[in-house]
Amino acid sequence: MVAVLQRVSQAAVWIAGNEKAAIGAGLVILLGIEDADGREDIEWICRKAIQMRIFADSEGVMNNSILDSEGEVLLISQFTLHASTKKGNRPSYIKAAKPDIAVPLYETCIREMTKQLGKSIETGVFGANMQVSLVNDGPVTIILDSKNKV
C-alpha cells in the first residue's frame, strides 16, 4: 500500500462538476492499493499518517501530528500510484489491485482512519473520474509505503 500525504490549507474533490467533499487545513491522502495489501498494511498506513509530525507547533517547528493540529483528512483512492514505468512510455498498472480487492480495502481504510483519528474523514469515490484541487501548505509531501517500513 502506498500513500502520498500532502499537508494542505484547503482541498476539495469534484466529480462530474459537483463538489463531493472539501476540507480546510489538514491532509490530502492519495492511496494506492495492490493485491498483496491487507489489514496490517491499512493499520500501518493509517497510524503513520495520523502520527506523522508535519504540522507546525507554537514555535513554527514541524512537531505536531494531524491529531495535535485538529486538522481534517481527505482520502482519495489512486491506482496510478502503482504505475510501472520501466518499459516504454505507457505506464502499466498490473500491480494495482482490481476493484473486487481494492474496494473492500479502501472502505476498511476509511473506517480505520476514522477510528484512529477519532472523527469522520472526507473521501472521493472509488473508481470515479475525480478532479482534486488543493493548496499544498509548505509544500509538504510525504510518501509512505507499507512494503518499505524500514
Q: Of 6, 55, 79, 123, which residue is the catalytic one?
A: 79
- Alpha-helical segments (H) within the chain: 39-51, 66-69, 99-117
DSSP 8-state class, residue 143: E
Distances (CA, A) of 133 to 6, 77, 112, 119: 12, 15, 24, 22
Q: Of 10, 51, 55, 78, which residue is the catalytic one?
A: 78
The dihedral through the CA atoms of 23, 27, 33, 36 has a sign that is negative
Answer yes or no: are the C-beta atoms of 117 and 73 closer than 8 Å: yes
List the grid coordinates of 27.
Answer: 491532509
- Annotated active-site residue 6? The verdict is no
- Annotated active-site residue 55? The verdict is no
Q: Of 6, 10, 51, 80, which residue is the catalytic one?
A: 80
- Annotated active-site residue 51? The verdict is no
Catalytic residues, which ones?
A: 78-80
